[in-house]
């Protein structure tokens, strides 16, 4: 990404063979970018989520070592091994690459706009609604449940809660907490061979926002709204989640993502078919009637 690259390029000990910038995460874009890169030993992803996914993709194709350098923390892509891409506007995953190193430079991250670090909490708090969906799915015979990893996910959530004001203030402790908790979930995902403990209806809402509006967003920003919506529909500690998002400094109202009434209605009215057709995990979305009164109620709540 161009802005973070300009911050770090002066401090590098060697000149890179090639520098490529993320345009979008469509598979055909990634394929054409790959052709412009010569054989290399190391690929470094410098910036936010998309730069890390692009770096994973290039490391996979070039059989190179991978170093991730997050300069913001708005999503967990620097830590996860899975490569997130878009195909015709839909989120998909191709392949896994494990980073050789993840370099977390506190002073560099502190130069980013604070909100782009705070929203990193979204990929942790998502576990609150995702684990509910996971258990719901298992009671419907749609998923295999594992109490040990469910409990571990909830331990991670309580650490997020304990450090919420550090995250809101973007202190060293706040940055360290986000990265450590990402690592905690990466470990669960690897052992469980599934990201169910961290990805559920709140993510599917975020994916459908991108799909309906055809725009790119800060991942954690969409999640913040998605978590509030889904905890309400799940009747899952909704008031506590509202307080916690506010303490973390996360804006959850629709104005944060610039969504108007029309877009919002369309996103919710199509959410169930989007989730079913995309074969996303069984979640509260499958059991909700997104009729006009429900959508109107949610719109009012988020305005
Ligand atoms: Zn995510």
What is the CA(229)–ligand 1 centre distance, in A? 16
Contact between residue 245 and residue 223 where contact means Cβ atoms under 8 Å apart:
no
Protein residues near ligand 1, an ion, with CB under 5 A: 123
Mean pLDDT (10-residue bins), the chain, 303 residues: 90 91 91 95 94 96 96 90 85 89 94 94 98 98 97 98 98 96 94 95 97 92 97 98 98 95 97 95 97 96 96
Query: 86 CA distance to ligand 1 centroid (A)?
Result: 14
Half-sphere exposure of 292 (CA within 13 A, CB side): 0
CB 53 within 8 A of CB 25: yes
Query: Which pLDDT score is estimated for 273?
Result: 97
Query: What's the 14 CA to ligand 1 centre distance in angstroms?
Result: 33
Query: What is the C-alpha to C-alpha distance for residues 234 and 224, in angstroms, rounded to an integer?
Result: 15
Q: Burial code of 291-303, b = ≥16 C-beta within 10 A, e = fewer? A: eeeebeebbeebe
Give the distance (Å) from ligand 1 centre to CA of residue 49.
9
pLDDT of the residue at 238:
97
Q: Let me know: does 116 contact 72? Beta carbons within 8 Å.
A: yes
Beta-carbon count within 10 A of 68 CB: 24
Cα 73 to averaged position of ligand 1 atoms, centre (Å): 11
pLDDT at 275: 96
- Residue 206 C-alpha to ligand 1 middle, in angstroms? 9
Alpha helices by DSSP H, listed for 63-213, are 106-109, 115-118, 122-139, 147-162, 164-169, 172-192, 201-213
Cα–Cα distance, 278 to 11 (Å, whole number)? 43
* Residue 219 alpha carbon to ligand 1 centre in Å: 7
Strand order in the sheet with 42-47: 42-47, 65-70, 101-102
């Amino acid at each position: 990404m161009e802005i973070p690259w300009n911050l770090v390029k002066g401090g590098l000990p060697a000149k890179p063979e090639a520098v490529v910038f993320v345009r979008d995460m469509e598979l055909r874009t990634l394929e054409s970018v790959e052709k412009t890169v010569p054989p290399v030993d190391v690929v470094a992803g410098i910036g936010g989520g998309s730069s890390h996914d692009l770096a994973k993709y290039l490391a996979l194709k070039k059989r190179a070592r991978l170093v991730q350098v997050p300069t913001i923390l708005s999503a967990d892509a620097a830590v996860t091994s899975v490569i997130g891409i878009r195909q015709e506007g839909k989120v998909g995953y191709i392949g896994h690459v494990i980073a050789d190193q993840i370099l977390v430079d506190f002073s560099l991250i502190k130069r980013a706009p604070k909100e782009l670090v705070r929203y990193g909490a979204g990929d942790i708090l998502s576990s609150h609604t995702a684990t509910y969906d996971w258990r719901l799915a298992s009671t419907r015979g749609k998923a295999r449940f594992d109490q040990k990893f469910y409990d571990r996910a909830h331990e991670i959530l309580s650490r997020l809660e304990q450090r919420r004001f550090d995250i809101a203030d973007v202190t060293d402790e706040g940055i360290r907490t986000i990265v450590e908790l990402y690592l905690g979930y990466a470990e669960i995902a690897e052992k469980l061979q599934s990201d169910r403990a961290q990805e559920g209806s709140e993510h599917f809402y975020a994916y459908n926002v991108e799909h309906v509006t055809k725009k790119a967003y800060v991942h954690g920003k969409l999640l913040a709204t998605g978590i509030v919506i889904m905890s309400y529909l799940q009747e899952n500690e909704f008031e506590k989640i509202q307080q916690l998002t506010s303490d973390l400094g996360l804006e959850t109202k629709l104005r944060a993502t610039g969504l108007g009434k029309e877009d919002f209605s369309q996103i919710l009215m199509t959410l169930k078919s989007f989730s079913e057709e995309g074969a996303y995990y069984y979640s509260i979305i499958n059991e909700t009637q997104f009729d006009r009164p429900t959508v109107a109620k949610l719109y009012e709540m988020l305005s």
